[in-house]
Chains A and B, each alone.
Chain A
Amino acid sequence: MNLVHLAQAKSPWVLHYDASSCNGCDIETVACLTPLYDIERFGAVPIGSPKHADMLLVTGNVNHKSKRVLRNIYDQMTEPKVVVAIGICATSSGVFHQSYNVLGGADQAVPVDVYISGCPPRPEAIIDAIIMGAEKLKKKWKEEEHPVKRSNQGSDTERSTADVG
Chain B
Amino acid sequence: MSWALVGIGVLGAPLLGGLLFGIDRKITARLQGRKGPPIVQPFYDVIKLLAKDSTYTNRRQVFYLYSHLLWMLVALVILLTRQDFLVFVFALTFSEVSLALAGFATKSPYSHVGSNRELLQILASEPVLVFMAFALYLATGSFLTGGVFLIDEPLLFSYPLLFLAVLLVLTILMRKSPFDISSSAHAHQEIVRGISTEFSGKYLALLEIAHWVELIIILIIVFLFWVKPWWAGVLLALGAYFLELLIDNTYARLKLGTMVRTTWAWGFGLSLVNILYFTL
Spell out A's residues near B (CB within 8 Å): 3-4, 6-8, 10-11, 13, 33, 35, 38, 40-43, 45-49, 51-52, 54, 76, 78-80, 141, 146, 148-149
Return chain A residues, CB-CB under 8 Å to B55: 51, 76, 78
C-alpha gap A83/B47 in the complex (Å): 21
Task: Mark the stretch among B25-33, B147-155, B224-232 that contacts chain A.
Answer: B25-33
Establish whether residues A78 and B192, one from each chain, have CB atoms under 8 Å apart when the complex forms. no
Return chain A residues, CB-CB under 8 Å to B127: none
Task: Mark the stretch among B72-80, B88-96, B193-201 that contacts chain A.
Answer: B193-201
Instruction: Count A-B pairs with CB separation below 8 Å.
Output: 96
Return chain A residues, CB-CB under 8 Å to B201: 78
Closest to A46 in B: B187
Q: Does residue B48 face the partner (Cβ distance < 8 Å to A)? A: yes
Return chain A residues, CB-CB under 8 Å to B33: 35
Q: Does residue B141 face the partner (Cβ distance < 8 Å to A)? A: no
Q: Does residue B265 face the partner (Cβ distance < 8 Å to A)? A: no
Which of A11, A33, A49, A79 is close to B48, meaning CB atoms less than 8 Å apart?
A11
Return chain A residues, CB-CB under 8 Å to B198: 49, 51
Spell out B's residues near A (CB within 8 Å): 25, 29, 32-38, 41, 43-45, 47-48, 51-55, 110, 186-187, 189-190, 192-193, 196-201, 204
Establish whether residues A11 and B41, one from each chain, have CB atoms under 8 Å apart when the complex forms. yes
Tell whether A49 pairs with B52 under 8 Å between CB atoms, given A10-B44, A11-B41, A35-B34.
no
Return chain B residues, CB-CB under 8 Å to A52: 193, 196, 199-200, 204
Establish whether residues A33 and B204, one from each chain, have CB atoms under 8 Å apart when the complex forms. no
Establish whether residues A51 and B52, one from each chain, have CB atoms under 8 Å apart when the complex forms. no
